[in-house]
Amino acid sequence: MRSTFCLKALSVAIATFSVASAASAAGLDRSGQDITAFLQDGTYAETVYTYIDADVTGKDTSGNKIDDIAEDYDFFRYGVKTDINDTFSIGVLYDEPFGAAADYVGENDFITNSSADALIQGFTKDPNLNEAIVDQSIAALQGALAPGNPEGLSPEQLQQAQGDLIGLQAARNLADTAGQETQVEVRSENLTGILGAKFGANKEFQVYGGPVIQQVKADVKLRGTAYSSASGYTAHISNDQDYGWLAGLSYSKPEIALKAALTYRSEIEHEADASEVFPIATAAGATAGRALPTTRNDKIDITTPESVNFDFQTGINPTTLATAKVRWVPWSDFAIVPSLYNDVSKIATQDDDGLALVSYDDDQWVVELGLAKRLSPALAVSGNIGWDSGAGDPVTSLGPIEGYYSVGLGAKYNVTENWAVSAGGKYLWFGDAEGQIPNKTVVSNFEDNDGYIVGVKLSYQAAQ
């Protein structure tokens, strides 16, 4: 029966795409952290390229149109696996599990459309100020406040001059954001090593696990009146590398082409270097009697979430394979909390906790069901449907999507006995969502959005 239900001939043409991003599903999920390359028989290798094009439009609470904020996004996935003997297997996987790419354009509340002079006048409430006057005033105040009190100012005059300098510097820093738009980009990379050991009367069970090396980096710009006093905030989180682990259990029954695997990935704790610019932080701190800078270079703790994947396939008849995938990610436990942003938010919230820059309310569930049909010894086609729960609604304005429904098609062609090429696509209907800023104020609404994914895969397999 093994030759009747040949897994190689029945392989699904396109491996499951976890369609997730700040512009397409729950949290920052992107690749779905697929490990099915390691579950293949014999020696196996694959290279997968994925391209995502999402159309995410809406309106701000002022009624302005928000053009497509979702930037096109692509990434690669690689995997290689081989059997050492009939018991032990090793493999290495590479993917880009988490990411975001959003850019607000046009004329809306997420764009700083005002001129530098208008921003200065709006912040200081003085219609006579402009960039040149502010620069001259800052220079004069800095001279007056030089060590040694060269102008012989009284304590009251010194205090007044310091307050004026704080306000003018905050206005000047805010003016530097004129004409800029809200943007976010998050990138990550995973390299996973896996060692598996088979056991059971027919080696039908396998336990596997190994270390994970992960890198993350991010850039965020908040602009426009939607972010209120946080407009002008900028954060750069430098690339950081840290470590986690993976563990799982699989079962196979070749007679019916059955394979099932349950895989757990640990959370990974990062301590990255973060550079923040908050133009009005000094003024806000002065108002509350706290000394806050407009820039800060500090460490930030970011913990990427744990996850659980369930992969299942079974033969229905000698030419048809059924597949199912389920994924869970606890995004409700995830948050990005830069220290300067959090300190300024404590003033606004008047508590000791402050606000996170990015956080989510719900956990993510992804379910995908598929069928693959072998049309000839060399050609197989596949179809699938999927659902993603999203991570809450309202959700962060940096990724205003509440999950999706999807339908996909693919095909796999065996070029030779060992080499195959696969290609396919998936269409996505995104869930409507309200975008909110960290204080839970709703600032936008996104409806009737969609997107698509296309991918190609080159694979090699040699049975042992």
pTM over 0.85: yes
Cα 120 to chain centroid, rounded: 34
Residue 278's H or E segment, with its range, is none
Please, is 179 exposed, middle or buried when counting C-beta atoms within 10 Å of its C-beta (0-12, 13-18, 19+)?
Answer: exposed
Token representation of residue 372: 């693959």
Contact 169, 140 (CB under 8 A): no
Q: Which residue has the tokens 């060992």?
A: 418
Dist. CA 88–CA 91, nearest whole Å: 10
Evaluate the omega torsion of the peptide bond into residue 127 and state whether it is cis, within 30 degrees of 0: no
Contact 220, 198 (CB under 8 A): no
H helices within 45-154, ranges in order? 116-124, 131-144
Dist. CA 96–CA 128, nearest whole Å: 51
Q: pLDDT tens digits for the chain (464 residues)?
A: 344 445 444 443 333 333 333 334 567 888 889 999 999 889 999 999 988 888 999 999 999 999 999 888 888 889 999 999 999 999 999 999 998 888 998 889 999 888 888 887 877 788 888 889 888 988 888 888 788 878 777 888 888 887 787 778 777 777 888 888 999 999 999 999 999 999 999 999 999 999 999 999 999 999 988 888 788 899 999 999 999 999 999 999 988 889 999 999 999 999 999 999 888 766 665 555 566 778 899 999 999 999 999 999 998 988 889 999 999 999 988 989 999 998 888 887 777 888 899 888 899 999 999 998 888 888 889 899 999 998 888 888 888 888 899 999 989 898 998 899 989 889 999 999 998 888 888 999 999 999 999 989 999 988 76
Please give the pLDDT value at position 90.
97
Contact 239, 127 (CB under 8 A): no
Dist. CA 324–CA 454, nearest whole Å: 20
Dist. CA 428–CA 431, nearest whole Å: 10
Question: How far, in Å, are 307, 383, 412, 414, 454 from residue 375 at the CA level?
Answer: 35, 13, 10, 12, 22
What lies within 8 Å, CB to CB, of 453 at 6+ separation is 17, 19, 50, 51, 52, 53, 408, 425, 426, 428
With b for 16 or more beta-carbon neighbours within 10 A and e for fewer, the 15-42 pattern comes to bbbbbbbbbbbbbbbbbbbbbbbbbbbe
Q: Among residues 113, 117, 132, which one has the least CA distance to residue 175? A: 117
Contact 298, 241 (CB under 8 A): no
Token representation of residue 381: 């086609």
Please give the pLDDT value at position 91.
97
Dist. CA 82–CA 259, nearest whole Å: 17
Dist. CA 124–CA 443, nearest whole Å: 25
Q: What is the DSSP letter of 111?
A: B
Question: Domains of the chain by range and CATH?
Answer: 7-95+198-218+246-267+306-462 (2.40.160.60)
Please give the pLDDT value at position 354.
85
Cα 213 to chain centroid, rounded: 17
- Single-letter code of the amino acid located at 393: D
Token representation of residue 434: 């309200």
Dist. CA 230–CA 354, nearest whole Å: 13
Contact 430, 404 (CB under 8 A): yes
- Residues 150/154/155/160 CA torsion (nearest 10 deg): -90
Residue 281 DSSP SS3: helix
Residue 145 DSSP SS3: coil
Q: Is the dihedral of CA 94, 13, 32, 258 positive or negative?
A: negative
Strand duo 205-221 + 234-253: pairing: antiparallel
Token representation of residue 17: 């795409």
Strand-pair partners of 326: 310, 367
To the nearest 5 percent, what fractions of the chain are helix, strand and coil? 15, 50, 35
Dist. CA 30–CA 99, nearest whole Å: 6
Strand-pair partners of 8: none
